[in-house]
A and B are shown apart, each in its own frame.
Chain A
Amino acid sequence: DAGVIQSPRHEVTEMGQEVTLRCKPISGHNSLFWYRQTMMRGLELLIYFNNNVPIDDSGMPEDRFSAKMPNASFSTLKIQPSEPRDSAVYFCASSLARGSMNEQFFGPGTRLTVL
């Protein structure tokens, strides 16, 4: 079975450009999460969706960040305009809450570098 798929795996862009990160969750999962990992702040949640509906976006740094989940099999995280401090690894994760089971499975991440 395919795991969580993220694209691109690496992105290098210049300050001010728009960046779009993509995620395909595991088929059948009903929760999707976007995390960011940096040396300074570690792993932090940006936003998450349950059944395609955004539940908690309190981790989104500012209005430059936006996320959508138009259907159960696709989500995007957009940064516009990008800044050097946005450089990080962005992980997408998905899960299925079934009884007491709820472990999240992570994609390989997108390493973003903003010059």
Chain B
Amino acid sequence: AQKVTQAQTEISVVEKEDVTLDCVYETRDTTYYLFWYKQPPSGELVFLIRRNSFDEQNEISGRYSWNFQKSTSSFNFTITASQVVDSAVYFCALSDMNYGGATNKLIFGTGTLLAVQP
């Protein structure tokens, strides 16, 4: 069965600190996709990144970076020099490969609440 574990329920940091959000996944599929979504206090879910299982390159986007390691089934998310606006719940998610030209469902972790204090 597919499963996503975000062991960190809440993290509190002071502005400008670096913070890493952990994500561990389980799947029997050899091809799959991993995602991170952000849910700010306003409630919407904002897509941040998608990673394919066959592409283990780490990715950096501004202050955000992602470390994908198949050997440990982890897809961790680091925010460098955190800002108050980064305060949100962050969800890691997993889905099977596309089939028949269509998308598959997302399995979400329980989320990590990040509080960045000024």
Contacts and interface: CB of A to CB of B under 8 A. Distances in A.
A93 to B, nearest CB: 8
Contacts of B91: 43
A95 B102 CA distance: 8
Nearest to A48: B105
A89 B44 CA distance: 10
Interface of B: 33, 35, 37, 43-47, 50, 52, 91, 95, 98, 100-111
A113 interface: no
A10 to B, nearest CB: 11
Interface stretch (A14-22, A62-70, A77-85, A96-104): A96-104
Contacts of B98: 97, 100, 102
Contact of A91 (B45, B52, B101, B109): B45
Nearest to B51: A100
B102 A97 contact: yes
Given A102-B98, A108-B44, A33 B105 contact: yes
A15 to B, nearest CB: 24
Contact of B102 (A30, A93, A100): A30
Interface of A: 30-31, 33, 35, 42-45, 48, 50-51, 55-56, 89, 91, 93, 95-97, 100-109, 111
A102 B95 contact: yes
A83 B108 CA distance: 25
B103 A31 contact: yes
B47 A105 contact: yes
A86 B96 CA distance: 28
Among B37, B50, B98, B107, find the residue whose CB has the most chain A CB atoms closer than 10 A: B98
B105 A108 contact: no
A109 B102 contact: no
Contacts of B105: 33, 45, 48, 56
Nearest to B35: A103
Contacts of A30: 101-103
B50 A102 contact: yes
A95 B103 contact: yes
